[in-house]
Amino acid sequence: MQPDFQEVWVYLSASPLTALTVTLVAYLIGDWLYQRSGRMPILNPVLIAVILITLGLTVSGIDYWTYFEGAQFVHFLLGPATVALAVPVAKLLKTMKGGFLALFTALACGSVTAAVSAVVIADLMNASTQTVMSLAPKSVTTPIAMGISERIGGLPSLTAVCVIMTGVIGAILGPYVLNAARITSWDARGFAMGVAAHGIGTARAIQINKDAGAFASLAVGLNGLATAALIPVSGDLAMWWIGTS
């Protein structure tokens, strides 16, 4: 009997099993390359996985939403993972004695800088209003950023892409920038990576140093809370900037 490849293909292209398997395999390939290269920042596992899957979808002609329907089981775990950030944060806060003022000042400065600089640069480079709004929450972790983007008139799925790109850029450039600026303490390095490059920056910080990782987790959690609280203000500010320029 001749195997019916047509039928197999119809099953494979629509089954969540394929999307899930492809996502995990692409990520494992990315992680393998990353480890083999001696953890070269440019070979970020997320970046490699996204490129591989994007190529696969383009070549096979499967559209993104069909893929996402299956891969959403992985995407769903972002929720519990966000809640799980409370664990390293709680451990860190229990061992910390003072120094909270410095943390909150750095958080406020970083959080505002991230949103304002993204909006100003994009607007100066003539991006459309919708794109500018999609860029504003780019330093916050994905689920939070998508919610904010929707509220201030951005495109949530474009925001998700910008958030991932920010994370990858931060993970790649962050350590070089910190070295160049002679920022040497692990708490400052980790916290800066977490505020600027959320979970992907944190994943990189965790690999480099345990303290840096804990401070990065703390930054992701606090930055999410801070930015979510600042949404109405930041949205109005961004509109004001676009209106005046």
Partner 1 sequence: MLVALTQLLVCQLLGEVMARAFDLAIPGPVIGMGLLLCILLYRESVPESLSQTANGILAHLSLLFVPAGVGVVAHLAILGNEWQAILGSLIGSTVITVLVTGWVLQKMHRRKNDAT
Distance CA 43, CA 35 (A): 9
Which of 8, 105, 236, 240 forms a contact with partner 1 (CB under 8 A)?
Answer: 105
Q: Which is nearer to partner 1, 147 or 153 (CB)?
A: 147
Distance CA 15, CA 61 (A): 15
Verify binding: residue 60, partner 1, rule CB under 8 A.
no
Shortest distance (Å) from residue 10 CB to partner 1:
21
Q: For residues 139-154, b (16+ Cβ closer than 10 Å) or e, as one string?
A: bbbbbbbbebbeebeb
Residue type, 177: V
Q: Which is nearer to partner 1, 33 or 206 (CB)?
A: 206
Interacting stretch for partner 1, rule CB under 8 A, among 2-10, 35-43, 223-231, 237-245?
A: 223-231
Which of 29, 33, 106, 239 forms a contact with partner 1 (CB under 8 A)?
Answer: 106
Tokens of residue 58, six digits = 């383009």
Interacting stretch for partner 1, rule CB under 8 A, among 6-14, 35-43, 122-130, 236-244?
A: 122-130
Which of 14, 33, 96, 173 forms a contact with partner 1 (CB under 8 A)?
Answer: 173
Distances (CA, A) of 237 to 34, 115, 116, 133, 234: 40, 10, 8, 11, 5
Which of 12, 14, 29, 169 forms a contact with partner 1 (CB under 8 A)?
Answer: 169
Of 182-211, binders to partner 1 (CB under 8 A) are: 183-185, 187-189, 191-193, 195-197, 199-200, 202-203, 206
Instruction: Give the up-direction half-sphere exposure of residue 148: CA atoms within 13 A in the CB hemisphere.
Output: 33
Our CA angle for 121, 124, 130, nearest 5°, is 80
Verify binding: residue 154, partner 1, rule CB under 8 A.
no
Verify binding: residue 24, partner 1, rule CB under 8 A.
yes
